[in-house]
Amino acid sequence: MSLDHYVTLGHSGLRVSPFTLGTMTFGEDWGWGSSPEESAKILATYLDRGGNSVDTANMYTNGHSEKIIGDYLSGRPSLRDRVVLGTKFFCNMYENDPNGGGPSRKAIVQQLENSLRRLQSDYVDIYWLHNFDPATPAEEILRTLDDLVTAGKIRYVGFSDVPAWATAEAATIARMRGWAPIITLQLQYSLLERTSEGELIPMAQAMGMGVMPWSPLHGGLLSGKYSSANTTPADTTRARPGGPTEAELVVIDAVNAIAEEIGVTSAQVALAWLQGRPGVTSTVIGSRRIDQLETNLGALEVTLDDAQRTTLDEVSAPKLNFPADNNRQLAPSLQFAGATVDGRPSLVSPLLHAADTRY
């Protein structure tokens, strides 16, 4: 597989690369990240390799990320329509302004106009709700987004970091009203954070939404810089205080062992595992240096065999919220009583057959 082996994003006609370039690292305004010059090189390398999906947000490096992208694309006007450019709204850029952020109609329109100005573009391809506000009616958010689609200022709608129940409600309202649908989700997902398998990912699969995981290396813990023999933070500007936990080190050591076994990097193993997970369409990868980008892109050429995937699945198995585990483990035996259905065998429930009698 390569970056130009495109995939369809959710129930839409939009095609994106299997890896999306995340640009939270564009700009040094937060004390870490890439200079504008290095950011432009990273963007150029990604696009030259056939990548077409670029993700940013209004608040990344205080708007500098969007400006860096805008400066790059403005000098290459023929490139803009080839790029699937997504940005996000929600985060407030203006201190003490209660309408400066969030998903109200006023805030959405203001945030989009400012993003378009920084991006130097007439439109964005995917406009993402960046987080969840329980106070703003879903109808207000969705109607505003639909109006922006009609106006040609956005092409598609995505939700990021929104609860499954709220996303499902919004998607149902949009469908019933004939408004622009939610075609894709962003969510945190990696070998060290799999709880989205409980509700978010099954919901996305059932409702025709593509999934774009973010933080696939879990803040660098799966990059290969850590092991049970080395827990010293590799980057003091961003590393978690104290380094990985004991439970995380069990997973990290398993990733490192498989990486050594097949002669690739730990980051590539973690990314290859994630890209092969059910429901995942395109994984958001971020890099501060060209060599990091090259390493991450190399994961597209890594194939894990069934035994390796099973090892990683088992060592990282999450404890999911009720009723996910109950429905996944107990329900098949209660429903099928030992029969194999859709290629999946079930157990015979001892509750139903303890006495081997029927009344």
3-state secondary structure of 56: coil
How many Cβ atoms sit within 10 Å of the Cβ of residue 140? 14
3-state secondary structure of 182: strand
Please confirm whether the linkage preceding 323 is cis (ω < 30° from 0).
yes
3-state secondary structure of 75: coil
123 belongs to the catalytic site: no
CA separation for the pair 74, 79 (Å, rounded)? 9
CA separation for the pair 212, 227 (Å, rounded)? 27
Per DSSP, the residues of 119-142 read HT-S-EEEEEE-S--SSS-HHHHH
CA separation for the pair 167, 129 (Å, rounded)? 11
List 6, 46, 60, 94, catalytic entry: 60
3-state secondary structure of 55: strand
CA dihedral 255, 260, 261, 265 (to 10 degrees): 70
Q: Where are the alpha helices (DSSP H) in 83-182?
A: 105-119, 138-150, 164-177
Q: How far is CA 251 from CA 196, 198, 239, 274, in A?
A: 18, 20, 18, 14
Residues assigned a catalytic role: 60
